[in-house]
Copies of this chain bind each other. A is one copy, B any other.
Amino acid sequence: MAGGAIGLIIAGMANNDVLAWLEQNRSEHLERLLTFLRFPTISAQAAHAADMTACGEWLIGQFARAGARAELLPTGGHPAVFAEAGPKDSPITLLIYGHYDVQPAGEEGLWRSPPFEPLVRDGAIYARGAADDKGQLFTHLLAAEAWAKTTGSLPIRVKYLIEGEEEIGSSHLAGLIRANRARLACDYVALSDTAKLDAQTPALTYSTRGLVYKQIDVTGPSKDLHSGVYGGTVANPAEVLARVLASLHDEQCRVAIPGFYEDVCELSPQERIALNRAPFDEASFLEQTGSPAVCGEPGYTTIERRGARPALDVNGLCSGYVGEGASTIIPSRAFAKVSMRLVPDQDPEKISEAFDRAVRAACPPTVRLSIQTFSKASPYVCPLDSPGVQAAMKAMEEGYGRPPGLIREGGTLPILPLFKSELGADSLMLGFCVSDCNAHSANEFFHVADLEAGARSAALLLSEIAQSVR
């Protein structure tokens, strides 16, 4: 008991040194994050393969600053970065997960400053990946460096797995984890790729939705036809695609794929109350999205719809002539990108098959149809009563100076269920960015204050996890 108390005092002193070091070096840390953000690591675009590797190598250098051995792990796709630090005899091991790949920039004209030329403006860092996930991930690199620079080591054994394919469905990561199960062995996974509760309050996210991502291709004539000469005589692929897509929802915004809701876990009355305690203001939500109205599955609140109910979205549509003015053609081809967000206990395999069946049934034989699957990821829920969750909550409370909130996240982190099944580890999701950070759209940003409070929380997480096993 006395040993424990002394340990606490020593840990407290170390914590203070670590926090002071973070405070003293914050300008340099910011500069270094900007360097990280300059790598155009768009995993979806093959042309950026060399940028991916260059960024991975830069990360190895960052780990060296924390005295951690790091290396690139080949995956068959973009490489992952693996690193290890801290005492080998640590009673508990944490695996920090993050990703260095980013979404495509989208329409460049919508960016106020170029997506890969980071700019600090009004206390925020603007760049593609600023929040998702480079800025948030960087807090954990700073945490490791802070411990190494001030105490010579880390409070616990920490492993790092930074992947380069999160934005394209993490297709090679399952194999990588399976092939390196012993090396990645850990008690908890921690990551920062989720949002805060509101502008002031950090959050622990305890659930994420799954994802099934598809592309539907409809082909009619072998070339674009003159719509005057042929209009009314052959099926128009754009029209057929529209009918197929329209068939995927009913009039009430419910997904109309047979069996889609079959395995959905209904929320308990208690969880509904807890979830809806989070601040939500419809007017600000509409202002934030720019949508004229909220819209979704009947009988659920917006908070429930985005975290605890599944959804289907058309992500892209393309067919025929889309330039200036008019061109009178029957397009040869039309395609759509369609994704589904799943909740426990929906099974991605089963949903994927149900989707294909529904699309095939809706498509007439007057066109040719093909369906591609880009990703399949399971939903995930973390048990709220685990010691790791308590440690993460305490670290954020101290890092931010206020108690964190609890969130069910609408987005997908495809590997959380994998960590659970392959490594037996639950995942702690510490959210440091605001939810309207423009992840996946133009002008993505991350507040400098969140970089700093996030780094403090990430550093304290290591000592809190150490405390949890004393």
Contacts and interface: CB of A to CB of B under 8 A. Distances in A.
B222 A290 contact: yes
A346 to B, nearest CB: 13
A235 B297 CA distance: 11
Given A314-B331, A328-B315, A366-B293, A239 B245 contact: yes
Instruction: Tell me how many chains of this kind the complex includes.
Output: 2
A238 B290 contact: no
Contact of A239 (B231, B249, B289, B368): B249
Interface residues of A, number: 102
Nearest to A323: B104
Given A226-B411, A329-B315, A441-B224, A292 B365 contact: yes
Contacts of A331: 314-317
A230 B337 contact: no
Contacts of A366: 291-295
Contact of A103 (B246, B314, B327): B327
B315 A318 contact: no
Contact of A225 (B235, B412, B441): B441
B328 A367 contact: no
A233 interface: yes
Contact of A306 (B211, B232, B243): B232
Name the residue in A292, A341, A364 with the highest tally of chain B Cβ atoms < 10 Å from its Cβ.
A292
Interface in A218-269: 220-236, 238-239, 241-243, 245-249
A312 B409 CA distance: 43
Contacts of A74: none
7 contacts: A45-B325, A104-B327, A228-B412, A231-B410, A232-B341, A314-B319, A316-B321
B329 A441 contact: yes
